[in-house]
Amino acid sequence: MRLKDLAEHLGLSQTTVSRALNGYPEVNEATRRRVADAADRLGYRPNASALRLATGRAGAIGLVLRGADELGPHMSEFLSGLGGAMASREIDMLVTTVATHQEELAAYRRLAASQKVDAVILHSPTIRDERAELLMQLNIPFVLHGRTEIGHPLAWLDIDNKGALERATSHLLDLGHRRIALLNGVKGRTFAEHREIGYRAALSARGIKVDPALVGNTAFTDEIAFRRAQAMLELRPRPTAFLAGSMMTALGVFRAIRQAGLQLGTDISMIAHDDVFPYLNADNMYPSMSTTRSSIRQAGVRIAELIAQVLAGKPLVDVHELWPVELVLRESSGPAPRA
């Protein structure tokens, strides 16, 4: 039942029915009552737009994704957790995809103007994130999945990327590895910067200089990782261990190792970051994969809760969570081969 149907049923204009339902004085009391009774009897519910105007809540959380590729395995796991937690609150997710950085900023402005969402999740922020600055200006509540430094208190949930990489690198150093390659995420993203800081800290604690030829910054895909790892394995001396930024990266590195005729776990070691994809289980790989592990799905569940806290007025300085990352050792990491 829509406003139009109700109006037709009553033989009144939509404007009159709308005014009657909203208690405008120009509609007389008899008409108002007749409209209210019919609305009640026919189960007419005002639409979201009217409801939004009445309650001040949109009942939706916004996500702006850059490029179709951002809707990849990481985002879908995150959305699984977020969506499950939102379902119990009857809150929807409004997903906007954009092609460029400028379109991304415009999409946030459009979200603010339209008031279609009550809050926004900003994911994979950069060190000084322009989008976060814009959301502050636009006065849209938001929670970061990750961290940024823009000189305001912000609500965020992040994993300890620095600690994870420091530990994984130190472990490989303990095993005698000295040429350790890092296949990291895109430069400028805070998580990738934090990972590099952890990697450098572990190396520098042993007095080992970073070899720039062993550090790659790319998107997390099997194909790109394959090509980077292949090139690194042609270096002499070649790396004896890889730190892979994601399970997809690990698949590509594994392929390059196999193609070079080397054995993972003996000739070459690898520790991958595992966001816990149900279909790419580190335990089930062959050899099983050593990982730094943190469930991105659980992060999605928790961010739904943090958003509820922010909307309920909890001070942003109190909405901070830094999750520790586990180091899980399996077969893919072992002692460095004798030179």
Structure tokens given for 151: 């000189």
Nearest Cα to 332, choosing from 210, 228, 247?
Answer: 247
Query: Containing H/E element for 228?
Result: helix 222-233
Site string for a copy of itself, 1-40 (x = CB under 8 A): xx-----------------------x--------------
136 near a copy of itself, rule: CB under 8 A: no
Among residues 68, 261, 312, 339, the one that binds a copy of itself under rule CB under 8 A: 68
Subset of 265-284 contacting a copy of itself (CB under 8 A): 277-281, 284
245 near a copy of itself, rule: CB under 8 A: no
Structure tokens given for 121: 């999740």
99 near a copy of itself, rule: CB under 8 A: yes
Nearest Cα to 210, choosing from 230, 235, 182?
Answer: 182
182 - beta bridge partners?
A: 215, 243
Looking at the Cβ atoms of 151 and 278, the one nearer to a copy of itself is 278
| Distance separating alpha carbons of residues 228 and 216, to the nearest angstrom | 7
Positive or negative, the CA dihedral 47, 56, 78, 101 is positive
Provide DSSP, 83-133.
HHHHHTTT-EEEEEEESSHHHHHHHHHHHHHHT--SEEEEES-BTT-HHHH
| Distance separating alpha carbons of residues 308 and 121, to the nearest angstrom | 12
Among residues 13, 33, 87, 318, the one that binds a copy of itself under rule CB under 8 A: 87
How many CA atoms lie less than 13 Å away from 98 in the CB half-sphere? Answer: 17
Looking at the Cβ atoms of 115 and 217, the one nearer to a copy of itself is 115
Total residues contacting a copy of itself (rule CB under 8 A)? 61
CB 184 within 8 A of CB 153: no
115 near a copy of itself, rule: CB under 8 A: yes
Among residues 13, 28, 114, 204, the one that binds a copy of itself under rule CB under 8 A: 114
Q: Report in angstroms how near the CB of residue 224 gets to a copy of itself at its nearest.
A: 10
Q: What is the largest CA-CA distance in the chain?
A: 95
Q: Report in angstroms how near the CB of residue 37 gets to a copy of itself at its nearest.
A: 19
Subset of 38-67 contacting a copy of itself (CB under 8 A): 45, 47-53, 60, 65, 67
Beta-carbon contacts of residue 193 (< 8 Å; ≥ 6 apart): 127, 187
149 near a copy of itself, rule: CB under 8 A: no
Q: Report in angstroms how near the CB of residue 257 gets to a copy of itself at its nearest.
A: 11
Q: Report in angstroms how near the CB of residue 211 gets to a copy of itself at its nearest.
A: 28
Among residues 17, 27, 38, 79, the one that binds a copy of itself under rule CB under 8 A: 79
Q: What's the chain's length in residues?
A: 339
315 near a copy of itself, rule: CB under 8 A: no
Looking up tokens 């809707």 gives 71
| Distance separating alpha carbons of residues 43 and 326, to the nearest angstrom | 53
123 - beta bridge partners?
A: 145
Q: Which residue stretch of 160-168, 191-199, 248-256, 305-313 sits at the interface with a copy of itself (rule: CB under 8 A)?
A: 248-256
Looking at the Cβ atoms of 2 and 128, the one nearer to a copy of itself is 2
Where on the chain is the footprint of a copy of itself (CB under 8 A)? 1-2, 26, 45, 47-53, 60, 65, 67-69, 71-73, 75-76, 79-81, 83-84, 86-88, 90, 92-99, 103, 110, 113-116, 221-223, 226, 248, 251-252, 255, 258, 277-281, 284, 286, 297
